[in-house]
Amino acid sequence: MILQQTIEKPVSCEGVGLHTGERSLLEFRPAEEDSGIYFISSGKKISATPDNITNTQRGSTLSTIWTVEHVLSALYGLGIDNLEIYIEGCEPPAMDGSAKGFVDVLKFAGIKKQGKEARFFELSEKIEVGDADRSISIEPFDRLIIEAGIDYSPSFVGAVSAKYDEASDNYEKDVAPARTFGFLNEFEYLKKQGLARGASFDNAIAVLDSGYSTPLRYDNELARHKILDIIGDMALAGKRIKGKIVSRKAGHKLNVELARRLLHASS
């Protein structure tokens, strides 16, 4: 039997948000069985569910909290089912642009097994959202597998793919360190849109005309980061997942819609 998990003790981290550029503080706190994942912001409890996502432009905004997907990805990757996340500010710290910093903080707190059995989605049929150009789907499988492909042709990046199989791969080693990325020639445009105000070469990979701003951690790091994002967005469904997910150039909008379809299909 696989048991639900939370953390042993409160632990915190702070830093600058990737898009807002504002400093914030996160405190992760243990939560009771069947509590799920929720944030406390300005005294309000905000459950991490797809129906509470208000914006998916370059990240997933939960009510008024920007860019929650890296935090949620770390929680799912570590098998944490129940957690209270207190936030001062409107966006989690960017850390190094990946989920690794959150994984390290949560492991320092210690992961604690609880008394109730973990809950899983087990599908009876395939669910797919998107169109002929961009799509994401999930179909029945006995464990979680994710395949993600991106294609930024004719830019330097081109077509890149990655695969994650929870039976053979390790989230902490193979997914969590994959950093977010963006095209340097879009930077000024994004800032005018109120985005990427906290982005830097320390917390994002910049795609240049003929290379990257920093050596990659994996040759397919950009596609691995897409898997990181998919895990974070799918965590909004609120249970662990048994299924094969295939993403073709999908982003947060389609990820969250798939999480919403999965949640409502099981209710």
Residues marked active site are found at: 252
Return the closest-CA partner of residue 209 out of 181, 180, 179, 184: 184
Phi, psi of 50 (to 5 degrees): -60, -30
| CA trace torsion 70, 75, 81, 85 (10° rounding) | -70
